[in-house]
Amino acid sequence: MWKSVLAPIHPDGWRFIALGAVLTLVAFSVHLVALGWLALAATLWIAYFFRDPWRVTPLRPGLVVSPADGMVLVADQAPPPAELGMGTAPMMRIGIFLNVFDVHVNRVPLAGVVRKLAYRKGRFLNAAHNRASEDNEQMAIRIASIEGPDIAVVQIAGLIARRIVCRLTEGQEVATGERFGLIRFGSRTDVYLPAEWAPLVAPGQRVLGGETVIADAVSRELARQGRMN
């Protein structure tokens, strides 16, 4: 029960929490009570934002898991980022929007070896817009998957996101569901898969990073449709 209530804090969050705690103590010590309560509330929210909960990753050859918590924006066909050198042919793209209340830790969607990392400076449009995939600041990652084809996962900054953290290095072996970074304060994460891999999620669906299966390399079912009830 405690694991579901008290999630660990991502290491990148501790300095922000410490800063908030110091501001809280200073405000109360000089009798700025209203500011102190405001700083305390902000500190608690920062701790909540940087939470890094445990996840159970399904492990079976071919399963692709969500790289992030959030809402599926698109499940369509689009060319991968040109910087990755994966060609211009459309691939299956699954785009996930993370609001400021979602867990922002990113996870590897499919095991393999990191072939290329490509950082691109850009704008900070609302990550919910499709133009964000092309125009926004981003870190693109090409992975030679254990299933054979190369896939890509792209961390995309959002309207108020100003920091993309990626801990991967080229040549590194990665496991499905493994943590690899985060994006600070609202963002988007796109996954590019072979065009013949049908998505197992639909736009509007909520997904959990490292846990929700979003595609299956060995399945040949049709793309799923969604209905809000």
Q: CA angle, 53 as apex, 49 and 55 as ends, to 5°? A: 140
Q: Could you give the CA distance from residue 16 to residue 57 in angstroms, rounded to a whole number? A: 29
**CB atoms near residue 138 (< 10 Å):** 25
Q: Answer yes or no: are the C-beta atoms of 180 and 168 closer than 8 Å.
A: yes
- Which sequence positions are flagged as catalytic? 187
Q: Could you give the CA distance from residue 75 to residue 151 in angstroms, rounded to a whole number? A: 15
Q: Where are the beta strands (DSSP E) in 79-229?
A: 91-98, 105-107, 112-120, 138-145, 150-157, 163-166, 173-174, 179-184, 187-193, 206-207, 213-216
Q: CA angle, 96 as apex, 136 and 61 as ends, to 5°? A: 120
Q: Could you give the CA distance from residue 16 to residue 21 in angstroms, rounded to a whole number? A: 9
Q: Could you give the CA distance from residue 61 to residue 226 in angstroms, rounded to a whole number? A: 26
